[in-house]
A and B are shown apart, each in its own frame.
Chain A
Amino acid sequence: MAEKGALPPVLTLHHVDKTFGSGRGVTPVRALNDFSLSVRQGDFLSLLGPSGCGKSTALRIVANLMRPTSGRIVWGDPAAPSASRHSKPSTGDLGVVFQEPTLMPWATVEDNVYLPFRLSGESNGEVRDRIHEMLDLVGLAGFEDAYPRELSGGMKMRVSIARAMVTKPKLILMDEPFAALDEITRFKLNNDLLAMQARIGCTVLFVTHSVFESVFLSNRIVVMAARPGRQIAEIAVDEPYPRGEAFRTTPEYAALCRQASDALHRAIDQRAAA
């Protein structure tokens, strides 16, 4: 974990605020309040919090789908020369997995995974091998020509993950990707996701409201409270990877779950008091 700490940040958020509905006659909602975060290379960082805590807003701001009301976002190492730093992600920096699989129903599995390349102008021939390798990794070899409607919910999510990872982006954003799946599929995908991350070596910013999921997957958990959305705790999960199914039964796992759960309850209580 010491080496991991030494790796440079991929993305840093400085005192980000986001307020919705500042128009007349509308009570403004502070979705994010003085939110700072540094995602280091190789991190699997989870944002854990109750609904309305601004975790999805944070993700949308990182993805440049939304502008912060105030605050600064820096892509790249703050210690590096300023030319290599940006306030916006460049194309290819990001992969995204939404809560729904978000596949194009009219395209085959292969064409769905090909999408990021197609949009950056790379021909199918050049990247065909990478796409097949990726589909193999997510366990969908042989489904290249299937259409999304022919797949189960878990398989669709695997296609979505393959699409996010296939370009080897600097950062992958995941917005409660497994929330709509059943528990068994969810556990299986949690295990497989860690295996995939180890193989690809990518950095992940993961949004969830599941304590167990966040402890199992992450090396860092940022716990958030709602109204205004803010960070109230950070928990380091210094358990070594690879983590298999056995990790779920260790006392360390139980202790970390308790710790994260307590923090989450504090977050919920604070909102109730406010």
Chain B
Amino acid sequence: MDMPGTAAPDVADDAIMDAEERAHARRQSIDRTARWLMPLLTIAFGIWIWDRIVVWNEIAPYILPGPLKVAETLMADAALLWADLRQTMSITLLALFVAVVGGVGLAVLFTQSRLIEQSLSPYAVILQVTPVIAIAPLIRIYVGSPTIQLLLCAWIVAFFPILSNTTLGLNSVDHNLRDLFKIYGASRWQRLRYLQLPAALPYFMGGLRIAGGLALIGAVVAEFVIGVGGAGNGLAARILESGYRLNIPRLYAALIVIAAAGVAIYVVTGWLSHMALRKWHESAVKREA
């Protein structure tokens, strides 16, 4: 007679757990859907408002083209815009690459020698705080190759976040681990390779995400100041040119391509960061709710 008495609460417990689990699963699936559905809906709503404003106010396409008109232009000018995108992106990515190599290299140098850090960091800071748009005309005068001019402008803005974040990361090593390496007689190189670089990785990844966006901004600013007539096309140069010609639909199309490129850079750097840190870093580790 004891058996049913003890079994009954168990069954009841199971039933409660199941109900709770079902509710939990439902919440999770709603959450998953909402994650991509909500941004999509708000963007669709924004485009619809844009369209209505143009239609209701009968705004001329050379002042504000409707979304449909812009989409048409995007299709019609696809080849032109694609060439522009390639130009702008090649400058952006090359600048980002040089910023990563230079930023990490200099950060490593800084942690190896206090003297080097003290002598060089003022230059790094000056480079960072001076607006690139103010230096660009000078770069145009002093540097011969237009490609190098653009690259230099984009590099100047992308370089600093990599340098400062990586330096911070290399210096953020747990002091006990540092002592441990010392006790085991680790060489300078071993300490860098097995302790400081892995510890700096999350910081570097944060810097890379910022620098990716900044490199694009730097490339666009450089094209505005230097681009037209120099390197020829490029998305920002296309925007300027379209503005002069009152080809506003093409201007909007180019703008959309720039925004898409920025989003793509953000997504890719985010994905890289996730892949590099997913095994161990809190920022990338999924927690069960």
- The answer to whether A149 and B190 touch across the interface, beta carbons within 8 angstroms, is no
Partner of A91 from B185, B194, B195, B285 at Cβ < 8 Å = B185
- The interface residues of chain A lying within 8 Å CB-to-CB of B113 are none
- The interface residues of chain A lying within 8 Å CB-to-CB of B183 are 63-65, 89, 94, 96
Q: In the complex, which range does the number of interface residues on chain A fall in? A: 20 to 34
Give me the interface of B with A, judged by CB distance under 8 Å. Answer: 174, 176-177, 179-186, 190, 194-195, 198-199, 201, 279-282, 285
**Which one of A1-9, A11-19, A115-123, A189-197 is at the B interface?**
A115-123
- The answer to whether A96 and B180 touch across the interface, beta carbons within 8 angstroms, is yes
- Write the chain A residue with the least CB distance to B198: A106
Complexed CA–CA distance, A66 and B185 (Å):
15
Q: How far is the CB of A48 from chain B (nearest CB, A)?
A: 22
- The interface residues of chain B lying within 8 Å CB-to-CB of A187 are none
Complexed CA–CA distance, A98 and B185 (Å):
17
* Interface bits A104-124 vs B (CB < 8 Å: 1, else 0): 111100000001101110000
Partner of B281 from A64, A105, A118 at Cβ < 8 Å = A105
- The answer to whether A119 and B198 touch across the interface, beta carbons within 8 angstroms, is no
- The interface residues of chain A lying within 8 Å CB-to-CB of B198 are 104, 106-107
Q: Which of A115-170 contact B (CB under 8 A)?
A: 115-116, 118-120, 147-149
- The answer to whether A102 and B280 touch across the interface, beta carbons within 8 angstroms, is no
5 closest Cβ pairs, A-B complex: A91-B185, A102-B176, A119-B184, A106-B198, A98-B176
- The answer to whether B179 and A65 touch across the interface, beta carbons within 8 angstroms, is yes
- Write the chain A residue with the least CB distance to B184: A119
Is A234 an interface residue when CB atoms closer than 8 A count as contact?
no
Is A213 an interface residue when CB atoms closer than 8 A count as contact?
no
- The answer to whether B177 and A102 touch across the interface, beta carbons within 8 angstroms, is yes
- The interface residues of chain B lying within 8 Å CB-to-CB of A149 are 280, 282, 285
Complexed CA–CA distance, A104 and B190 (Å):
14
Q: How far is the CB of B277 from chain A (nearest CB, A)?
A: 8
